[in-house]
Every structure is written in C-alpha cells, then in structure tokens.
C-alpha cells in the first residue's frame, strides 16, 4: 500500500487506465530521500554520543586514576627523560614545573659553619609552605662539590614563611651543587620536583680525580659492597651488603623509612638520580633497582644506619 503522501497526490490526479509512472517515481524518490536523511541524522547522533562518551571516559581516567611512582624504582622529581633507554635525571635546573629554587645566599667560607637559607617559589612567586612527607622528611637536600667529593645528605627545617634553613659546612674551596628534592602540595595535588643551584667557596680550588671504578668501599669501620651491573638499557637489581670490622654482616636499621638510600650523580653535569630500596632486606642485603641515564662515569652514594649512626659509602661506576 502506498504511503499517505502518495495517496494524497494520486487523489488529485486524473483517472486513467494506466498508472502515472512519473508521479509514482517522484513520490518514491521523495520517500527514499526522507528515509536516507533520517538515517544520516541517526548515524550522526549515535557517533556524537559515542564521541562524547569516549571524551568523558578519557577525562575521568586522566583526572581520577593517576599512576603513582614505585618507591623501589628509580624516580626523579619532575625529571625529563634525556636518553632513549636510560633513566631520567633531575636536579639540573633552578626552575621546573612552575617551581623555582631561590637561595638567599650562595657564597661560603671554607670549613666554617654558615647558615644556608632558601625558598621554593610557586608559579606566582609566593613561597610554597605545604609539602608531602616522603621518607620521613618534607625535603631532602643533597650537597656535593662539582668534582663529586664532599657529599652531604641533609634535612633543613622550614619556617612559617616558607624559608628553609640549615647550618652548612663546606670543607674546601670550589663550586658545590645543592639539590632540593621534595614533593610540593599545590591545590590538593602533589608535585614531586628536584631543583638545583650552585654554591661557591672562595679559595684555591684543587679538584680531586674521581676514584677508580670499584664495587667495594669503606664507610668508617664498615665495608659496603654491591652486586649487579648498572646499565643504560634496562633497570637492574643492585644488592648491597654491609659488613662490620669483624667481617660479619652489620645489623642494618631503617633510616628515613628505608634500609638505605642511593643517590647517583653523573660526572660533569651532576645529573641526579635517587632510588629507594625494596621494603625488606633480601638475605640480609639491601636491594635497589637501578638504571643509568647514559654512558659515562658516576659516583654512587649509599646511606645506611647501624646502632643509630648514619654512614655513607661511595662507589665509582663506569658505564659503557
């Protein structure tokens, strides 16, 4: 049976024994056009709804499902990947992710205690005053001379106005690097960053040659040795053993919520990598996972605690 439009048209047409082929064809074309248009509109609506659903789903995932970093993997606050295979580095910039390290003074006298003060300025220039506690501290400060001697891992305190300060002694003349490693809290979100700046000690600078590569080092009366081979192509396990003067394994204690802390600095630009170990000892050994950023020479600093006293062992690693 023809549709309603066809009936209305045919009722006004003159009666004839033969059907009006042209009129019926025109009516069919119009009906087909209406069906095609309706189908096109339906398809557009469906695809629009699908696209909106995809957009909303993507936004929700990006906003509500952040991927937290693993504390036992190499992590660098706000760092950018600088090689195609190796770990990212940090601490090379004074400003990053909208945050800026602002030292109040950068000149020191050799081997004399002096107050080091600085602020972390936010995007608008105001000091940041809220920080997340990471490994028992809101901010970790690394200080080392540019020849990779004189390493210190410190924890300054913050005043109510956002000024950080600590008594610092730099033993010898030269240029030192300070690296502030922290996680700022901004607008309810956490922003991990490591910012760096130079400190200068006046006097005759006599740079020290980097010690030869070795996997064993002494730290006071202790000996620290590591197993494993760091590379740039994969994250490798590094197991550290600490023995006392009697040759027996030392009774390691948690220090800053971990059995050890490993800071790796690259010779030349002092690129910074900071890793934490697995939570539990592995057969009495401290287990890290480490990837090097690039070929080159590195100094690896290992902090550990025995009988309430913190010690630091250091190794040189040559990465081909």
What are the residue ranges spanned by the domains of the chain? 4-10+20-64, 95-201, 216-319
Tell me whether the CATH fold assigned to 95-201 matches the one assigned to 216-319. Answer: yes
291 pLDDT exceeds 80? yes
Q: pTM for this structure?
A: 0.75
Q: In residues, how long is the chain?
A: 320
Q: Is the dihedral of CA 213, 140, 312, 104 positive or negative?
A: positive
Domain 216-319 has CATH 2.60.40.1930: yes
- Encode 176-193: b = buried (16+ Cβ within 10 Å), e = exposed: bbbbbbbbbeeeeeebbb
User: For residues 56 and 129, which has the higher predicted lDDT (pLDDT)?
Assistant: 129
55 pLDDT exceeds 80? no
Q: Which CATH number fits domain 95-201: 3.20.20.60, 2.40.10.10, 3.10.20.30, 2.60.40.10?
A: 2.60.40.10
Cα–Cα distance, 123 to 156 (Å, whole number): 23
Q: Is the dihedral of CA 274, 278, 280, 285 positive or negative?
A: negative
- Encode 79-89: b = buried (16+ Cβ within 10 Å), e = exposed: beeeeeebbbb
Is the distance from CB of 288 to CB of 238 less than 8 angstroms? yes
**What average pLDDT does the chain have?**
80
Average pLDDT of span 268-273 = 95
pLDDT score recorded for residue 49: 35
């Amino acid at each position: 049976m023809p549709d309603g439009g066809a009936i209305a048209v045919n009722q006004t047409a003159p009666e004839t024994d033969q059907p009006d082929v042209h009129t019926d064809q025109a009516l069919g074309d119009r009906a087909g056009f209406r069906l095609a248009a309706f189908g096109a509109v339906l398809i557009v609506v469906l695809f629009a709804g699908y696209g909106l659903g995809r957009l909303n789903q993507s936004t929700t995932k990006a906003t509500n499902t952040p991927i937290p970093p693993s504390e036992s993997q190499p992590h660098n606050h706000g760092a950018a990947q600088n090689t195609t295979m190796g770990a990212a580095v940090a601490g090379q910039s004074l400003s990053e992710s909208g945050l800026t390290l602002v030292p109040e003074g950068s000149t020191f006298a050799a081997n004399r205690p002096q107050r080091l003060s600085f602020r972390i300025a936010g995007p608008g220039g105001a000091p940041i005053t809220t920080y997340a506690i990471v490994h028992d501290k809101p901010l970790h400060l690394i200080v080392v001379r540019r020849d990779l001697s004189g390493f210190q891992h410190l924890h300054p305190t913050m005043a109510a106005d956002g000024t950080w300060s600590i008594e610092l002694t730099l033993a010898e003349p030269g240029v030192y690097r300070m690296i502030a490693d922290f996680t700022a809290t901004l607008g309810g979100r956490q922003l991990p960053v490591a910012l760096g700046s130079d400190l200068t000690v006046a006097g005759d600078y006599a740079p020290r040659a980097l010690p030869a590569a070795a996997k064993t080092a002494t730290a006071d009366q202790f000996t620290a040795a590591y197993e494993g081979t760091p590379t740039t192509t994969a994250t490798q396990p590094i197991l550290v053993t600490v023995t006392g003067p009697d040759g027996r394994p030392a009774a390691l204690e948690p220090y800053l919520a971990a059995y050890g802390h490993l800071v790796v600095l690259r010779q030349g630009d002092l690129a910074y990598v900071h890793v934490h170990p697995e939570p539990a000892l592995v057969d009495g050994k401290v287990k890290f996972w480490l990837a090097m950023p690039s070929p080159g020479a590195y100094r690896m600093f290992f902090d550990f605690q025995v009988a309430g006293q913190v010690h630091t062992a250091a190794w040189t690693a040559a990465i081909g």
